[in-house]
Amino acid sequence: MNRFTGGANPTRDEAPIVFAHRLAKSEGFKSLFKEGMDLVEDSAAYLDKDGREESRVLPRALSLAYSAESMRLTTRIMQIASWLLLQRAVNEGEMSITQSLSEKHRVRVTSQDLATGPDMFKQLPAGLRSLCLKSLRLQQRILHLDASIAAARFQAPSVPPAMAVASQVARLQAAFGG
């Protein structure tokens, strides 16, 4: 029994709207893209200047932890940038979804945690810690978006969007007596 319509499961005309199809082409994606590219630039600038200076004065154990975290950060942001660039190419019609799927084995964002334990991480320079934490948050958002986009490819809308919205509004009105 469908609690919105009072009937059986929704028909094809009442299928849910898949927002992931539109999300990747939205202003939200553009903002995410800018945030990702800014993080790449900020990380490169930090690691080439302040980070290099800060790492030189660290004791040996922290120096090794710094190296491990900076390598992990670099890998993480390169995965993020590659995914964002691939998605943008699809969004702008430079590449088909089929082409992007064949490229996906090379451009994979995987969940990467910190390379060091919490006690060691707290002792690293603030600039590196900040970049690492920003990259982890961005990585999680991209993993979520990537999973949503992948799932949406298997749930293509079966009705025109205007009809789907009207259908869902009608279902909500029926459920709440409006």
pLDDT, greater one: 52 or 148 = 52
- Is the pLDDT at 20 greater than 70? The verdict is no
DSSP 55-91: HHTS-HHHHHHHHHHHHHHHHHHHHHHHHHHHHHHHH
User: pLDDT value at position 7?
Assistant: 47
Reported as a single tens digit per residue, the pLDDT across 71-90 is 999 999 999 999 999 888 88
Question: Rounded to whole angstroms, how far apart are CA atoms 108 and 73?
Answer: 15
Report the chain's mean pLDDT, rounded to a whole number.
82
User: pLDDT value at position 136?
Assistant: 97
CB atoms within 10 A of CB 73: 24
pLDDT band with cut points at 50, 70 and 90 for residue 2:
very low
User: pLDDT value at position 19?
Assistant: 55
Compute and round to an integer the Cα radius of gyration of the chain: 22
What's the CATH number of domain 17-157, 3.10.129.10, 1.10.8.930, 1.10.1040.10, 3.40.50.720? 1.10.8.930
User: pLDDT value at position 40?
Assistant: 97
pLDDT band with cut points at 50, 70 and 90 for residue 123:
very high
Most confident of 96-100, 145-149, 158-162: 145-149
Question: Rounded to whole angstroms, how far apart are CA atoms 62 and 59?
Answer: 5
- Predicted structure pTM score: 0.72
What percentage of the chain has pLDDT greater than the value 70? 77
pLDDT band with cut points at 50, 70 and 90 for residue 8:
very low
Of 9, 114, 125, nearest to 57 (Cα)?
125
DSSP single-letter state for residue 121: H
